[in-house]
Amino acid sequence: MPRHVKTPPSGEPVTLDEAKAQLNLEVDEDDELLIRCIGAAREHVESHCNRGVLEQTIELVLDAFPTNFRHPYQLHTCGLLGYPGFSGFPVLLPCRACELFIELPFGKLATTPALEVKYIDTTGAQQTLVEDTDYVVDAVSVPGRLFRAFGKSWPQTRVQWDAVRVSYVVGWKKDEVPQAIKQAVLLLVSQMYEHRAPEIDTRFLTSVKFSYESLLSPFRIITL
């Protein structure tokens, strides 16, 4: 399920002044370095939490729409025991190919999600689905989801790796970013600014790692 940032955030969750206050820094000589550290810290937080911090547009690329098969589980053969002559036993496991919805990864959908669902039909022409007519949006779940509209089926697509493209917005507005996330970014900025060489006290690293991971734990999205 490839995805990429189509439109990056227009700013950062913390300002240069906030970073300098965190460091008790009054001079301006290292402003460019601090700006780079803020961006790197925000990107690390996004990677750790598997979610966008500030509003940004994500494009999800799929081979096809989900199947219209209604059972979201599939029998799989488990041969983990490895006994001679034992071929395994059937286990009912979730089947991603049989899901009736499209998951929109990388965080909670923005308050007013600007969604666009395009696909290549069997003739090779690009088509656009219409919200509420062709699909409905679940913006409450995290990550968000797209369901086919009542009485509708997902359309057939041309056989190619990028037959379906979904663009959507995730993340918070700048003044709505949770304080815990902002503080985690500031902790990482402090670490990167104060310890620029590889010779770092591992006890300090462990302390910082525990601090920012504890701050971010409520926001982390665990995926299988």
**98: pLDDT strictly greater than 50:** no
pLDDT, tens only, 18-59: 999 999 999 999 999 999 999 999 999 999 999 999 999 999
Partners of 5 in beta bridges: 58
Write out pLDDT tens, residues 154-206: 999 999 999 999 999 999 999 999 999 999 999 999 988 887 765 555 555 55
Q: Please report, for the chain, the start and end positions of each structural domain, with discontinuous segments joined by +.
A: 8-55+174-219, 63-78+85-170
The reported pLDDT for the residue numbered 99 is 55
For the domain 8-55+174-219, what is the CATH code?
1.10.3230.30
The per-residue DSSP string of 27-47 comes to: -STTHHHHHHHHHHHHHHHHH
pLDDT of res. 203: 54
Q: Summarize pLDDT for 124-151 with one digit per residue, the tens.
A: 999 999 999 999 999 999 999 999 999 9
Mean pLDDT of the chain: 84
Between these two residues, 4 and 113, which has the higher pLDDT value? 4
